[in-house]
Amino acid sequence: MKLLLHTCCGPCLLYPLDSLRQQGIEPVGYFFNPNIHPLLEFERRVEALETVCQKRGVEMVWDSRLYGLDDWLRELGGRFSQQERCPVCYRIRLEAAARAASALGFSAFSTTLLYSKYQRHELIRRMGEEIARAHGLDFFYQDFRTGWSQGIEEAKAIGIYRQPYCGCIFSEAERYKGRKGRMEKRLLAGAGGISGAETADIAVN
């Protein structure tokens, strides 16, 4: 099988790569993740993936449209809740992977999103299969979540950066919601603190 493997990050590639190679499949990676922000976070993830590619001998196709906050937000079209934005984000990346697979002569594609226990697994599978049919390809499905702990241990052993949130600015805000609340309480408790409700009628000149 000639498989193009959409790859979201270095840590998420490790177990799927091991598993596929054990099955006699040598995947080529494909990196297109415009959901990752801000730019410094994007750079850290790219560097981690480069390290995995070097250490594991992986060929990676880097999409030239690497980073773009404006384009990604436009694609979301105001659908910012987790229930709304994740399907849009999956489709953006899976569609790009399918187009790349078709253009580069691959017979199938898959994604390391199937490794993450935090993603909507069955939705990714259904969407991948639908997109594959539209492009005359196969969607290679495997539940890579079974190797979750193994992948984490491998990432620690290599010493690569392991991200604390999925990538988008909304997931980052949701992860640190508790810290945000504590900060707001601390600031409002200080002298001159006013709430958002109190500032509603204040004009800024």
**pLDDT by residue (tens digit) across 49-68?**
999 999 999 999 999 888 88
More confident site: 201 or 56 = 56
- Please enumerate in sequence order all residues whose Cβ is within 8 A of that of 195, keeping only pairs 6 or more positions apart, or say none: 188
Domain borders along the chain are 3-172
pLDDT score, position 203: 45
pLDDT score, position 83: 83
pLDDT greater than 90 at residue 168? no
Give residue 204's pLDDT band: very low, low, confident or very high (50, 70, 90).
Answer: very low
Let me know: does 125 contact 131? Beta carbons within 8 Å: no
Q: Is the peptide bond before 87 cis (omega within 30 degrees of 0)?
A: no
CA distance 137 to 110: 11
**pLDDT by residue (tens digit) across 111-165?**
999 999 999 999 999 999 999 999 999 999 999 999 999 999 999 999 999 998 8
3-172 adopts what CATH topology?
Rossmann fold (3.40.50)
What is the Cα 90 distance to its own chain's centre? 9
pLDDT score, position 199: 47
> Model pTM?
0.85
CA distance 6 to 12: 11
- The distance in angstroms from the start CA to the end CA of the chain is 64
